[in-house]
Chain A
Amino acid sequence: MRIGVLALQGDFHEHIQSLRRLGVQGAEVRLPGDLDGLDGLIIPGGESTTIGKLAVTYGLLDAIRQFGRNHAIWGTCAGAIFLAKEAHRPQPLLGLMDIVVERNAFGRQTESFEIDIDIPALARTGNGHAPPYHAVFIRAPLIESVGDGVDVLATLDTGRIVAARQGRFLATSFHPELTADDRFHRFFVDMTR
């Protein structure tokens, strides 16, 4: 199995390391041809405007949409923004997921935070019980609203949505690639099967 990680900008190397811990080979994707033969794609954290502009210039917008017709795609933070259909700002988006995101929803960097959240969907990767998930939010977006057919996987105490799945597509506002907890990467690897 080979899972691609969009390597235009951001913490793609951290995702590749997380995959390696699971025995899965990660491949850097910078050009449309790099998608050939991959079983899934992760869009990492980074700056969504930077990633979007580079994706447009190098023909990746349509290539990734095409790839998404029969492959799983997961976006973390900037990647979740990039997957969304709407982000309230003029910037290139894939529009693959029926979610609306609010960028920098918690404020600037001094409001970035770590917190434990409950994610019942992760129970299937263990023995039916999911200990709290330690999530790192960095200048993070929120998923403001989701359309029909989108499952909400995690919310904060305030009820605001921070993880969602729509069929082959997964979006998280936080960064599983920054922690040693591999459950989200396992969850995504299962989605690619």
Chain B
Amino acid sequence: MEKQTGTIAVKRGLAQMLKGGVIMDVVTPEHAKIAEDAGACAVMALERVPADIRAQGGVARMSDPDMILKIMETVSIPVMAKCRIGHFVEAQVLEAIGVDYIDESEVLTPADEAHHVNKHDFKVPFVCGCRNLGEALRRIAEGAAMIRTKGEAGTGDVVEAVRHARAVLGDIRRLQTMADEEVFAYAKEIGAPYELVNETRELGRMPVVNFAAGGLATPADAAMMMQLGVDGVFVGSGIFKSGNPAARAKAVVEATTHFRDAHIVAEVSKNLGEPMVGRQVTDIPSTELLAGRGW
């Protein structure tokens, strides 16, 4: 076989290399350096961290390509960047400048309220958010090579991340108990392609890597998500909106690796300074929630 690029195996494969790791939101090359030095397995470039998007409002878009390029020059780990849901030209731009992964993200303001990007059209792999198994498998059908549960970004409140991870993982457990004929009806019920539903049932997991995101702020939050059964974690505002980003970033990385060892999680949780100022999800009007974007 001749050399082939942009295949499903290499797209999903990069996500497999990120497993057990922490992907950190960064706005500048300085942030990216702190993240890499702390042991992040990748960084996510975006215009503003979700807590600032939430506070400042306005339309949130793809980052300045020059800023992303400077981040790519600064670190040796993979660089991901966010595009708006359905904004296939932002995605083309990100592919053109050579980012390693694109996050078609509900954290930015959606550009299309009916269609996600056709991710099969790209050589660069995509990660997408989900709140349940049906949403995850619809994104995989569109070509997503990695999934993250959405949580509620920029809150520092882990409750939605837990809800969505439990929903996806619980859906998979229920699926495995179903009779063959029930799987057809279930696929219809959750609005996902039968083939992907059945593949998930046979594997006992989704056919792509699944990280948790949205509201993680402490080492214990990260370890909890890992114990629930996700493959790794995204931490956004939780690092760079805290009192001591370098120390907190390193602690979250160590807690993610040693997620079953409560003594280590305790040790790394000491003296991290102020966590980000959180905002309880139940206090946020439903119109301001980000997780409902995308379908």
Binary flags per residue of B101-127, CB closer than 8 Å to A gives 1, else 0: 100000000000000000000011100
Which single residue of chain B is at the shortest CB-CB distance from A57? B254
Is there a chain A Cβ closer than 8 Å to B246's Cβ? Answer: no
The residues in B between 243 and 291 inclusive whose CB is less than 8 angstroms from any CB of A are 253-254, 257-258, 261
In the bound complex, residues from chain A placing their C-beta under 8 Å from that of B124 are 109-110
B258 touches A30 (CB 8 A): yes
A110 touches B257 (CB 8 A): no
Which single residue of chain A is at the shortest CB-CB distance from B17? A45
Count of interface residues, chain A, beta-carbon cutoff 8 Å? 40
The residues in A between 82 and 136 inclusive whose CB is less than 8 angstroms from any CB of B are 89, 103-104, 107-116, 132, 134, 136
Is there a chain A Cβ closer than 8 Å to B56's Cβ? Answer: no
Is there a chain A Cβ closer than 8 Å to B41's Cβ? Answer: yes
**Number of CB contacts from chain A to chain B under 8 A:** 121
Q: CA of A184 to CA of B4 in the docked complex: distance in angstroms?
A: 21
A49 touches B7 (CB 8 A): no
Is there a chain A Cβ closer than 8 Å to B193's Cβ? Answer: no
B4 touches A114 (CB 8 A): yes
Is there a chain A Cβ closer than 8 Å to B207's Cβ? Answer: no
Is there a chain A Cβ closer than 8 Å to B142's Cβ? Answer: no
The residues in B between 122 and 181 inclusive whose CB is less than 8 angstroms from any CB of A are 123-125
Q: CA of A132 to CA of B2 in the docked complex: distance in angstroms?
A: 12
- Interface stretch of the complex, out of B8-16, B46-54, B58-66, B82-90: B8-16
Say how far A63's CB is from chain B's closest CB, in angstroms: 16
Give which listed residue, B2, B72, B253, contacts A54 with CB less than 8 A. B253
Say how far B23's CB is from chain A's closest CB, in angstroms: 10
B13 touches A112 (CB 8 A): yes
In the bound complex, residues from chain B placing their C-beta under 8 Å from that of A8 are 20, 257
Is there a chain B Cβ closer than 8 Å to A169's Cβ? Answer: no
Is there a chain A Cβ closer than 8 Å to B98's Cβ? Answer: yes
In the bound complex, residues from chain B placing their C-beta under 8 Å from that of A109 are 10, 14, 78, 99-101, 124-125
A114 touches B14 (CB 8 A): no
Which single residue of chain A is at the shortest CB-CB distance from B79? A108
A49 touches B77 (CB 8 A): yes
Say how far B70's CB is from chain A's closest CB, in angstroms: 15
B3 touches A108 (CB 8 A): no
Is there a chain A Cβ closer than 8 Å to B293's Cβ? Answer: no
In the bound complex, residues from chain A placing their C-beta under 8 Å from that of B42 are 47
Say how far A51's CB is from chain B's closest CB, in angstroms: 9
B10 touches A114 (CB 8 A): yes
Is there a chain A Cβ closer than 8 Å to B36's Cβ? Answer: yes
In the bound complex, residues from chain B placing their C-beta under 8 Å from that of A54 are 39, 253-254, 257
Is there a chain B Cβ closer than 8 Å to A10's Cβ? Answer: yes
Which single residue of chain A is at the shortest CB-CB distance from B36? A49
Supposing A50-B21, A54-B253, A109-B14 touch, asked if A139 and B3 sit within 8 A by C-beta, the answer is: no
Q: CA of A9 to CA of B20 in the docked complex: distance in angstroms?
A: 5
B77 touches A50 (CB 8 A): yes
Leading 8 A-B pairs by shortest Cβ distance? A109-B100, A112-B10, A116-B1, A47-B41, A53-B39, A9-B20, A11-B16, A115-B3
User: With contacts A8-B20, A103-B76 known, what are 15 further pairs, Cβ within 8 A?
Assistant: A9-B39, A30-B257, A47-B77, A47-B78, A50-B21, A50-B41, A54-B39, A57-B254, A107-B98, A109-B125, A110-B124, A115-B4, A136-B10, A136-B13, A175-B13
Interface positions of A (Cβ within 8 A of B): 7-14, 30, 45-47, 49-50, 53-54, 57, 77-78, 89, 103-104, 107-116, 132, 134, 136-139, 175, 178
Between A and B, 29 residue pairs with Cβ closer than 8 Å are A11-B16, A14-B16, A30-B257, A30-B258, A47-B21, A50-B39, A53-B253, A57-B254, A103-B76, A107-B98, A108-B99, A109-B99, A109-B100, A110-B123, A113-B3, A114-B1, A114-B7, A115-B3, A116-B1, A132-B1, A134-B1, A136-B9, A136-B10, A138-B14, A139-B78, A139-B100, A178-B9, A178-B13, A178-B16
